């Protein structure tokens, strides 16, 4: 990618114009809420499916908001006269946000999408034309091949990572593979210093625009692959990356194809993150991983975890290799092109999987917490069920509980006090009409929305936990109630208590 192609992007040196543009966008209510109100939920949702007709119909008027939606989201040329009423037209043309298209119309040079921050902030995500909604195969992808260096806007993966990121105030954060800058924008709210990297110089330029247009402090932007742009003596309190995790035959689209073969890019990212973290720091990634014939996928992932780190790895979805190839062929808009070319690409994808003995692909989250503990804890699990975002606090408290459990042997656990987490309910499962349940399930309605089977002692124990009595005292009372030997009960129950604490059903009370 030559720097000359950056010439088609708005200038990052015209802070005055960016500030005026931001004021104009806000004054017109070009915000996430304003957009939803104008378009209505169905048209808004249709945009995410790359369907623009409902939004075009909803913006046929000439209010300032309709003008901005047509210009920056739907890439419609708009007459000067209409734009002049809403934006500082000449300044925006001069700074490269708008281009004159001939006649008496102007068009946007980039997509700008309103994006609501977690505290109600009105932010704007800048991306390449046609990429604000629907990805590379989206609105702008129709009928054209996506450019290798194209920079996408906000996707489902972007918001997932933003939601699971631990948001405690930190000194330094690194957003690796920043793209539109969305993760850096979030990090700027709770990190004193934010470093954002990308191999694609176009992405760095666009990330700078996103931060400036959103009114956020500038980040330290660095070009390079993986941790290359980070000096040997630099470490961070938080590292986040929504990397180019797609496992594909060859590097075609920079935003998604890591180009390192198989899942090597994600593995390298995880392995190298450990030594880039400060003690107590978190690294959080989205990733795809191979399920290889003859290998346990969980063991494979465990082997990626760097020394000194606890890890929590959650597999959210598994796709077979055909579903996977089709997903990414469609993402690039290949299904709308030449049939023979589509089939050749599909074939190449399956050849690649065959050669690597890949049977399926897992999608999920990887969180590392650097503790330098002598006995690191690595949890690899499958949880494909709905969760309640944002999960940043859930991730942080997961690692707190891991620390607690590591520091407490069974005797200490029985001396401990616990409280039942908020919004846990008990479900009894069994045949209709049966007197006793076949089993009892505890279900959390918050966070990971976990459900776990317990026996009647476990359910009774959890029900009594309000922080008053020690675990051992509660077990003694249950033993008396059910006529069981208290010593045996104290002996066999800690494993169940550990699981309930680890999964967040019980919280250490003191
Ligand atoms: C899936 S996009 C994520 C963009 C953004 N962070 C988000 O969450 O939406 C991946 C980004 O990683 C960048 N990238 C690709 N290969 C990379 C590498 N080897 N090192 C660093 N960044 C890379 C791409 O240019 C792209 O901007």
Question: If you search the block for the tokens 């809420």, which residue do you land on?
Answer: 33
162 CA: nearest ligand 1 atom: 8
Rounded mean pLDDT of 184-198?
Answer: 98
The model's pLDDT over 369-416, given as tens digits with 9 standing for 90+, comes to 999 999 999 999 999 999 999 999 999 999 999 999 999 999 999 999
Once rounded to an integer, what is the mean pLDDT over residues 82-95?
97
Q: Quote the ligand 1 centre to 255 CA distance (angstroms).
A: 5
What pLDDT was estimated at residue 48? 83
Residue 254 beta carbon below 6 angstroms from any ligand 1 atom: yes
- Which CB contacts under 8 angstroms, 24+ apart, belong to 448-453? 448/383, 448/387, 448/388, 448/391, 448/394, 448/503, 448/504, 449/385, 449/386, 449/387, 449/388, 450/383, 450/503, 450/504, 450/505, 451/385, 451/427, 452/499, 452/500, 452/503, 452/505
Query: pLDDT value at position 254?
Result: 87
Give the SS3 label for residue 329: helix
Q: Flag the least confident range among 70-79, 204-213, 433-442.
A: 433-442
pLDDT score of 2 more than 60:
no
Mean confidence (pLDDT) of the chain: 94
* Position 139 confidence tier, pLDDT thresholds 50, 70, 90: very low
Q: Say how many Å lie between the CA of residue 109 and the centre of ligand 1.
A: 22
CB 219 within 8 A of CB 205: no
Quick one: how far is CA 332 from the chain centroid? Answer: 20
Give residue 432 CA to ligand 1 midpoint distance, Å.
52
Contacts of 188 (CB under 8 A, 6+ apart): 194, 211, 216, 217, 219
Atom 25, ligand 1: residue with shortest CA distance: 255
Instruction: Report residue 230 CA to chain centroid gap.
Output: 22
Take atom 19 of ligand 1 and give the residue whose Cα is closest: 225
Residue 132 has pLDDT above 90, yes or no: no
| C-beta of 199 in contact with ligand 1 (< 6 A) | yes
The tokens for 268 are 């390298």
Q: Whose CA is nearest to atom 26 of ligand 1?
A: 255
Tell me if residue 376 falls in helix, strand or coil. Answer: coil
Residue nearest to atom 23 of ligand 1 (CA): 177
Does residue 255 have its Cβ closer than 6 Å to ligand 1?
yes
Pocket of ligand 1 contains residue 203 by CB under 6 Å: yes
Q: Is the pLDDT of residue 108 over 60?
A: yes
Instruction: Assess contact for 364 and 287: CB atoms under 8 A.
Output: yes
Q: Three-class SS of residue 277?
A: strand
Short-list 203, 298, 315, 297, CA closest to 253 = 203
Compute the distance from residue 225 Cα to the ligand 1 centre, in Å.
9
CA 138 to centroid of ligand 1, rounded, Å: 18
How far does the centroid of ligand 1 lie from the alpha carbon of residue 421, in Å?
37
pLDDT the model gives residue 103? 84
Q: Which two tokens stand for residue 94?
A: 């001069």
Structure tokens at 446: 């918050």
User: Ligand 1 mean position to 17 CA, how many Å?
Assistant: 28
Q: What is the DSSP letter of 275?
A: G
The best mutation among 244, 263, 331 to test binding of ligand 1, ranked by most ligand atoms within 8 Å of the C-beta, falls on 244
For the chain, what's the residue count?
510
Regarding the beta carbon of 198 and ligand 1, being less than 6 Å apart is answered: yes
High-pLDDT (> 70) share of the chain, %: 96
pLDDT of residue 141: 52
Backbone torsions φ then ψ of 219, nearest 5 degrees:
-100, 165
Percentage of the chain with pLDDT > 90? 86
Residue 242: CB within 6 Å of ligand 1? Answer: yes
**What mean pLDDT is predicted for residues 454-483?**
95
**Spatial CA neighbour of 502 closest among 429, 450, 460:** 450
| C-alpha 177 to ligand 1 mean position (Å) | 3
The residue whose CA has the least distance to atom 12 of ligand 1 is 177
Q: Is 120 left (phi over 0), alpha (psi -120 to 50) or beta?
A: left
- Name the DSSP letter for residue 381: E
142 pLDDT more than 80:
no
Check: CB of residue 172 under 8 Å from CB of residue 237.
Answer: yes
| Token pair recorded at residue 113 | 């999408």
What is the chain's Cα-based Rg? 26
The pLDDT value given to residue 137: 56
Does the CB atom of residue 153 touch ligand 1 within 6 A?
no
- Evaluate: CB of 253 within 6 angstroms of ligand 1: no
* Range in 67-76, 81-90, 263-272, 428-437 with the lowest mean pLDDT: 428-437
- 366 Cα: distance to centroid of ligand 1 (angstroms): 16
* Structure-block tokens of residue 465: 């936990």
Report CA(260)–ligand 1 centroid distance (Å).
Answer: 14
Q: How far is the CA of 243 from the centre of ligand 1 (A)?
A: 5
The structure's pTM equals 0.95
Q: How far is CA 151 from CA 125, 185, 200, 206, 334, in A?
A: 11, 16, 9, 8, 18
Q: Are 74 and 131 in contact (CB under 8 A)?
A: no
Q: How far apart are CA 210 and CA 178, in angstroms?
A: 11
Beta bridge partners of 362: 289, 318
pLDDT of residue 250: 82
Q: Which atom of ligand 1 is nearest to the CA of 161?
A: 8
Eight-class DSSP state of 246:
B
Which region among 10-14, 114-118, 223-227, 435-439 has the lowest average model confidence (pLDDT)? 435-439
Distance CA 456, CA 505 (A): 15
- Cα angle for residues 164, 165, 169 (degrees, 5° grid): 145
Pairing of strands 439-444, 424-429: antiparallel
pLDDT surpasses 80 at 7:
no
354-382 pLDDT tens trace? 999 999 999 999 999 999 999 999 999 99
182 lines ligand 1 (CB under 6 A): yes
Spatial CA neighbour of 509 closest among 420, 419, 422, 423: 419
Report the pLDDT value the prediction gives residue 476, as an integer from 0 to 100.
97
């Amino acid at each position: 990618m030559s720097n000359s192609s950056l010439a088609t992007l708005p200038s990052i040196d015209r802070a005055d114009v960016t500030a005026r543009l931001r004021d104009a966008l806000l004054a017109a209510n070009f915000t996430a809420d304003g957009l939803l109100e104008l378009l209505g939920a169905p048209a808004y949702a249709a945009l995410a499916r790359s369907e623009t007709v409902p939004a075009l119909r909803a913006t046929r008027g000439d209010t300032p908001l309709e003008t901005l939606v047509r210009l920056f989201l739907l890439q419609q040329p708009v007459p000067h006269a209409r734009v002049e009423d809403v934006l500082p037209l000449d300044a925006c043309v001069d700074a490269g946000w708008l281009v004159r298209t001939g006649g008496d119309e102007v068009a946007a040079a980039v997509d700008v999408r309103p994006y609501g921050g977690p505290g109600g902030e009105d932010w704007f995500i800048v991306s390449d034309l046609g990429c604000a909604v629907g990805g590379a195969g989206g609105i702008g992808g129709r009928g054209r091949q996506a450019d290798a260096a194209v920079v996408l806007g906000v996707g489902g993966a972007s918001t997932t990572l933003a939601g699971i990121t631990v948001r405690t105030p930190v000194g330094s954060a690194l957003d690796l593979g920043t793209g539109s800058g969305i993760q850096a924008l979030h990090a700027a709210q709770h990190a004193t210093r934010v470093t954002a990297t990308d191999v694609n110089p176009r992405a760095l330029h666009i990330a700078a625009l996103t931060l400036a247009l959103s009114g956020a402090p500038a980040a330290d932007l660095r070009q390079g692959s993986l941790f290359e742009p980070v000096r040997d003596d630099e470490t961070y309190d938080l590292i986040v990356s929504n990397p180019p995790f797609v496992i594909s035959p060859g590097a075609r689209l920079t935003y998604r194809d890591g180009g390192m073969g198989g899942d090597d890019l994600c593995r390298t990212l995880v392995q190298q993150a450990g030594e880039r973290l400060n003690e107590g720091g978190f690294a959080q990634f989205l990733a795809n991983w191979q399920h290889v014939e003859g290998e346990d996928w969980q063991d494979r992932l465990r082997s990626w975890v760097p020394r000194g780190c606890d890890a929590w790895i959650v597999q959210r979805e598994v796709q077979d290799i055909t579903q996977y190839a089709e997903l990414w062929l469609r993402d690039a808009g290949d299904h709308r092109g030449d049939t023979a070319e589509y089939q050749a690409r599909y074939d190449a994808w399956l050849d690649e999987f065959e050669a690597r003995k890949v049977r399926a692909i897992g999608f999920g989250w990887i969180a590392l917490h650097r503790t330098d503990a002598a006995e690191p804890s690595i949890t690899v699990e499958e949880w494909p069920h709905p969760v309640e975002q944002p999960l940043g606090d859930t991730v942080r408290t997961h690692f707190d509980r891991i620390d607690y459990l590591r520091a407490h042997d069974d005797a200490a656990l029985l001396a401990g006090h616990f409280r039942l987490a908020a919004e846990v309910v008990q479900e009894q499962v069994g045949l209709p009409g049966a007197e006793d349940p076949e089993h009892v399930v505890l279900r959390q309605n918050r966070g990971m929305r976990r459900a776990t089977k317990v026996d009647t002692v476990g359910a009774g124990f959890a029900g009594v936990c309000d922080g008053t009595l020690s675990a051992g005292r509660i077990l003694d009372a249950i033993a008396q109630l059910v006529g069981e030997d208290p010593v045996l009960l104290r002996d066999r129950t800690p494993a169940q208590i550990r699981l309930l604490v680890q999964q967040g059903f019980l919280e250490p009370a003191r």
